[in-house]
C-alpha cells in the first residue's frame, strides 16, 4: 500500500502563509489531493508544537457535518470550539456545500486567533464567488494531480519500484496522475473503473448540474472532441460545425457553454495565444489541455501519432505547477509550443518525441531562431541527451529528466492573466 505522497511544494506554500491574516484557499479538480494535503499539514502542525484542541477540521462531504448547512450554523459551531488565547487552525474542506459560506469565512478571518484554510472543487467557486465576496482577503493555491516527480516517488513504494525511469514515465502517461491510482499497483481494470467514476462525478455534479445542461450525450461528444484535440487550436464555432457535420445539432452558444463547464470543472485548461514579436495576447483560437492524460486515454483511445500533443500536455501542466503563466507562442508563420512567464521574465519551450532526424530537428529549432530576445529557449524530447546539447544557445533536454529535477516551485496559484486591453487577433 502506498503511503501518503508528501506533495512538498504545496505543503511549503501552506507553511509560508501560516498564521498570516489572510484566508488560504486550496482549489483543484476532484480527487487531486486537497483533503490529503490538509491532513499532511495538520500532522505537520501537531508535530511542531500545535495542540489538538487548536485544530478544527471539517469536511462538508462527510455526512457528520451535513447539519452545518448554512453560514450561521457553521460560524456558531466553530466559535464554540475555539481555544482561547491560542492560534486556532481552521480547515473547511469542500466549503461550497455551505450556503453563504463566505459570511462565516469572512467573520472567522477577522478574528486575530483564527488561521483559516478552505477548499473547493471547481474554478467557478473560486473565480466567481471568492473574487467577489473575499476580494483582497485571500491567497489561492491551485492544485493539480501528481507531477511525474511525485508519481515517480510514489511508484517507488509499490511492487513496480523496479521499473526503469523510462518505463515509469510510460506508466505515468498510460495510467493516470490522480494520487489514488497508485493504490491499484498499475492494475488496468481497477484504474479504468476509478477514472470512469471520477469522470461521471465531475460531468454530472460539476458541469451538468451546475450549467443546467439537458443534453448530456451532446456534452459527452464535446468532451471527446476536446480530449481528442488537445494541443490543437480550436473554437466553439469549429466544434459546432464539426458536430453538425456528424448529425449533432449543437450551436456555437451551446458549445461555448459546454467549454465553460469543462474549464470551470478543471477537466480542461485553456492556453491562450501570444504574439511574440508584437507582444500581444490574442483572444481567439486558444489550445486546450486535459487535467490528466490517463483520464483522456480512458475516453479517447490514443494513437501513436498523438504522442507529440500528449507530451505537450504534460509539459503544460508542469509549467503551471512551477508557477508560470503559460501561452501558445506565435511568431511570423511559425509557432512556439509554449511561452512561459513568471516574475523573472519569459521562457520558451518546444516539445517533440524525438529530434534525432536532422530534418525534424531543424523544424523544431526554426521558430526559436526567429525570436530576437535572449530569454531561455528549451527543446524537450524523449531522446537521451548526454552532456550539454546546445544549438546556438537553444538547450535540448530529456523530458523525463526535466520533469524530475528539483524545480523552484512557487505553487500553481496564478491562472493565465486576462487578455491585454491592447490585444488583438
Interatomic CA distance for residues 356 and 137, integer angstroms: 51
272-290 pLDDT, tens digit per residue, is 999 999 999 998 999 999 9
- Of residues 228, 231, 233, the one with CA closest to residue 316: 231
pLDDT for residue 420: 37
Q: Give one DSSP letter per residue of 99-129, joined into a string.
A: BTHHHHHHHHHTSTTEEEEEEESSHHIIIII
CB–CB of 175/181 below 8 Å?
Answer: yes
**Burial of residue 342, with CB atoms counted within 10 A of its CB: 0-12 exposed, 13-18 middle, 19 or more buried:** middle
Closest CA to 95 of 56, 133, 125, 138: 125
Confidence at residue 136, expressed as pLDDT on a 0 to 100 scale: 81
* Sequence-ordered list of residues with C-beta below 8 angstroms from that of 260, at least 6 positions apart, any chain: 211
Helix (H, G, I), strand (E, B) or coil at 347: strand
| pLDDT tens figures, 304-361 | 558 999 999 999 999 999 999 999 999 998 999 999 999 999 999 999 999 999 999 9
Sheet containing 325-331: which strands, arranged edge to edge?
Answer: 280-290, 268-275, 325-331, 334-342, 345-351, 377-381, 394-398, 389-391
The DSSP code sequence of 350-416 is EE-S---SHHHHHHHHHHHHT--S-S-EEEEESS---S-EEETTEEEEEHHHHHHS------S--PP
Q: Is the dihedral of CA 407, 410, 412, 417 positive or negative?
A: negative
Nearest to 371 by CA among 394, 405, 401: 394
pLDDT tens profile 200-212: 999 998 899 889 9
Identify the CA nearest to 15 among candidates 35, 39, 44, 36.
44
Dihedral angle at the C-alpha atoms of 168, 173, 174, 177, nearest 10 degrees?
90
Cβ pair 321, 403 in contact under 8 A: no
pLDDT value of position 416:
32
| Helix, coil or strand: residue 80 | coil
Collapsing DSSP states into helix, strand and coil, what is residue 39?
helix
Residues of the chain with pLDDT under 50: 410-424
All structural domains of the chain = 8-143 (3.40.50.300), 148-404 (no CATH)
What pLDDT, on the 0 to 100 scale, is given for residue 123? 58
* Neighbour order of strands in the sheet with 23-28: 55-59, 88-93, 114-120, 23-28, 138-143
Grid coordinates representing 278 are 508584437
State the pairing for strand pair 268-275/325-331. parallel
Q: Which three cell numbers stand for residue 393?
A: 544557445
Tell me the pairing of strands 138-143 and 268-275: unpaired
Q: How many CB atoms lie within 10 A of CB 402?
A: 18
pTM of the model: 0.92
Number of H helices, E strands in the chain: 17, 13
What does the angle CA 216 – CA 93 – CA 109 come to, to the nearest 5 degrees?
A: 125
CA distances from 49 to 38, 91, 218 (A): 17, 18, 54
Mean pLDDT across the chain? 90
Contact 24, 14 (CB under 8 A): yes
Amino acid at each position: 500500500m502506498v503511503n501518503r505522497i508528501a506533495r512538498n511544494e504545496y505543503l511549503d506554500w501552506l507553511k509560508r502563509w501560516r498564521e498570516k491574516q489572510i484566508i488560504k484557499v486550496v482549489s483543484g479538480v476532484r480527487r487531486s489531493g486537497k483533503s490529503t494535503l490538509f491532513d499532511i499539514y495538520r500532522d505537520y502542525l501537531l508535530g511542531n508544537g500545535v495542540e489538538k484542541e487548536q485544530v478544527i477540521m471539517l469536511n462538508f462531504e462527510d455526512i457528520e457535518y451535513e447539519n452545518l448547512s448554512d453560514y450561521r450554523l457553521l460560524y456558531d459551531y466553530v466559535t464554540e470550539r475555539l481555544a482561547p488565547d491560542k492560534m486556532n487552525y481552521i480547515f473547511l474542506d469542500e466549503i461550497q456545500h455551505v450556503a453563504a459560506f463566505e459570511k462565516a469565512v469572512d467573520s472567522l478571518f477577522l478574528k486575530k486567533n483564527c488561521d483559516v484554510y478552505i477548499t473547493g472543487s471547481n474554478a467557478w467557486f473560486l473565480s466567481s464567488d471568492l473574487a467577489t465576496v473575499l476580494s483582497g482577503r485571500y491567497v489561492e493555491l491551485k492544485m493539480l494531480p501528481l507531477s511525474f516527480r511525485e508519481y515517480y516517488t510514489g511508484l517507488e513504494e509499490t511492487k513496480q519500484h523496479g521499473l526503469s525511469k523510462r518505463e515509469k514515465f510510460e506508466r505515468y502517461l498510460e495510467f493516470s496522475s490522480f494520487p489514488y491510482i497508485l493504490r491499484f499497483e498499475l492494475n488496468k481494470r481497477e484504474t479504468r473503473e476509478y477514472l470512469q467514476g471520477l469522470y461521471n462525478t465531475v460531468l454530472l455534479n460539476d458541469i451538468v448540474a451546475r450549467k443546467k445542461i439537458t443534453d448530456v450525450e451532446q456534452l459527452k461528444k464535446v468532451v471527446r472532441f476536446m480530449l481528442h484535440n488537445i494541443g490543437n487550436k480550436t473554437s466553439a464555432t469549429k466544434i459546432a460545425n464539426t458536430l453538425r457535420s456528424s448529425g449533432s445539432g449543437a450551436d456555437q452558444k451551446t458549445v461555448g457553454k459546454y467549454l465553460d463547464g469543462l474549464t470551470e470543472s478543471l477537466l480542461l485548461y485553456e492556453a491562450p495565444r501570444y504574439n511574440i514579436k508584437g507582444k500581444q495576447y490574442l483572444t481567439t483560437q486558444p489550445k486546450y489541455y486535459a487535467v490528466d492524460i490517463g483520464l483522456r486515454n480512458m475516453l479517447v483511445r490514443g494513437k501513436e501519432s498523438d504522442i507529440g500533443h500528449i507530451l505537450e500536455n504534460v509539459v503544460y501542466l508542469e509549467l503551471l505547477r512551477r508557477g508560470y503563466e503559460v501561452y501558445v507562442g506565435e511568431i511570423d508563420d511559425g509557432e512556439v509550443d509554449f511561452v512561459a512567464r513568471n516574475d523573472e521574465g519569459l521562457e520558451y519551450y518546444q516539445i517533440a518525441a524525438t529530434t534525432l532526424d536532422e530534418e525534424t530537428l531543424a523544424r523544431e529549432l526554426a521558430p526559436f531562431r526567429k525570436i530576437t530576445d535572449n530569454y531561455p529557449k528549451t527543446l524537450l524530447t524523449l531522446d537521451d541527451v548526454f552532456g550539454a546539447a546546445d544549438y546556438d544557445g537553444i538547450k535540448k533536454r530529456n523530458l523525463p529528466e526535466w520533469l524530475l529535477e528539483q524545480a523552484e516551485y512557487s505553487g500553481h496559484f496564478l491562472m493565465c492573466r486576462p487578455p491585454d486591453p491592447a490585444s488583438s487577433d
